[in-house]
Amino acid sequence: MKHLTDEEITAVAALLSGECLGTFQAMAGSTRAAVALHQEMLQLAGALMSVTAVVEIALRKLLKPEHAALENQAHALQIRLDAFVRANHPCAKHGHMHSRAFRTPLREHRRTCADATHSLKPRSPDPPRS
């Protein structure tokens, strides 16, 4: 970093925390060398970020089919759970008929029962109607 003036070195050193500057000074020996080392570390970090981004994109593309298969499997399991809840719902089991006045509490009752069994990703905030 021979192109930096003493004022620029002082300004960069002022921006660094005392602990960070102390660490770089211990490794480099002087403030000018510490700032130069810090700048090189920033350049390396920038280069590594672009490489990491390329690797991340490649992994996402590679794993996309497996992720889609797992999502489909989870959806199929959710459909089975929904069918089980509807078939074994206490009101459906006993064949109760409810008046209009009871429909809102019934919806809340079904939502509570359904929420207890919905450990997988739900399709909608409202439970399926039977």
pLDDT of residue 82: 75
- Residue 59: pLDDT band (50, 70, 90) is very high
Write out the H or E segment, with its range, that includes residue 68. Answer: helix 31-87
Lookup: tokens for 111:
């939502």
Average pLDDT of the chain to the nearest whole number = 75
- Residue 106: pLDDT band (50, 70, 90) is low
- Does the pLDDT of residue 29 top 80, yes or no? yes
pLDDT tens digit sequence for 61-105: 988 888 888 888 888 888 777 777 665 555 555 555 544 444 555
- Does the pLDDT of residue 32 top 80, yes or no? yes
pLDDT of residue 104: 55
Lookup: tokens for 49:
């970020």
What interhelical angle do 6-15 and 31-87 show, nearest 10?
30
- Residue 31: pLDDT band (50, 70, 90) is confident
Parse the chain into domains and list their residue ranges: 6-117
- Residue 122: pLDDT band (50, 70, 90) is low
Separation between Cα atoms, residue 121 and residue 48, nearest integer Å: 36
DSSP 88: T
